[in-house]
């Protein structure tokens, strides 16, 4: 099937419009439309443990404004959130709480590890007795961001990367479903 007439649909929309005599016929795949819709309205969970939370707040505020990409509905409860941005260090006492928050989120759910601490323990990797060396010891992570703390642009890039991952069906959730 020839799906090339994309100029009448949004650029990111998965599919095309076939012009016919009585109007156009939209041709697409249901899975791709669902992924496209999901990727454009991700609600993040307000989960900031330390310094990175300030940069997350900067990203949410006027200059960087993550609502341009559909992230502005930050939720305080995990039951209403789609993506958890781990902004800060996870210590041993916090790890069960993080796991519980993740379990309370509704499927499909995505995880971004923001900053060096959430990625690997970062500056607190050596000589500490209480830091979890990376949030992926506790919950699975989709996108990692480097930096201590990362700039707001880096967080925006991670959010866009997550959207692309969801659209292409490459997130951990989607891959897991397709396995036999």
**Contacting positions for another protein (CB under 8 A):** 46-51, 53-55, 57-58, 61-63, 76, 78, 88-89, 91, 93-94, 97, 101, 123-124, 126-131, 148-149, 151
Beta carbon of residue 123, minimum distance to another protein (angstroms, whole number): 6
Query: Would you say 14 or 44 has its CB closer to another protein?
Result: 44
Beta carbon of residue 61, minimum distance to another protein (angstroms, whole number): 3
163 CB-near residues (< 8 Å, 6+ apart): 39, 40, 42, 69
Query: Would you say 42 or 101 has its CB closer to another protein?
Result: 101
Beta carbon of residue 172, minimum distance to another protein (angstroms, whole number): 22
Query: Would you say 36 or 110 has its CB closer to another protein?
Result: 110
Query: Would you say 28 or 58 has its CB closer to another protein?
Result: 58
**Residue 66's Cα: distance from chain center in Å?**
12
The Cα–Cα gap between 141 and 101 comes to 14
Tokens representing residue 173 in the block: 């959730």
Query: What dihedral angle (degrees, nearest 10) is formed by the CA atoms of 89, 93, 97, 103?
Result: 90
44-45 vs 83-87, strand pairing mode: parallel
Beta carbon of residue 50, minimum distance to another protein (angstroms, whole number): 5
């Amino acid at each position: 099937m020839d799906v090339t007439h994309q100029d009448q649909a949004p650029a990111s929309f998965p599919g095309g419009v076939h012009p016919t005599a009585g109007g156009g016929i939209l041709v697409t795949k249901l899975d791709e439309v669902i992924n496209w819709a999901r990727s454009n309205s991700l609600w993040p969970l307000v989960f900031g443990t330390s310094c990175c939370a300030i940069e997350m707040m900067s990203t949410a505020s006027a200059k960087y404004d993550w609502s341009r990409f559909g992230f502005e509905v930050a939720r305080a409860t995990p039951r209403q959130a789609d993506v958890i941005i781990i902004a800060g260090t996870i210590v041993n006492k916090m790890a069960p709480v993080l796991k519980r928050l993740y379990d309370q989120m509704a499927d499909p759910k995505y995880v971004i590890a923001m900053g060096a601490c959430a990625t690997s323990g970062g500056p607190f990797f050596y000589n500490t007795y209480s830091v979890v060396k990376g949030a992926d010891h506790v919950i699975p992570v989709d996108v990692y961001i480097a930096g201590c703390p990362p700039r707001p642009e880096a967080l925006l890039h991670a959010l866009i990367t997550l959207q692309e991952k969801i659209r292409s069906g490459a997130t951990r959730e989607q891959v897991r479903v397709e396995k036999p």
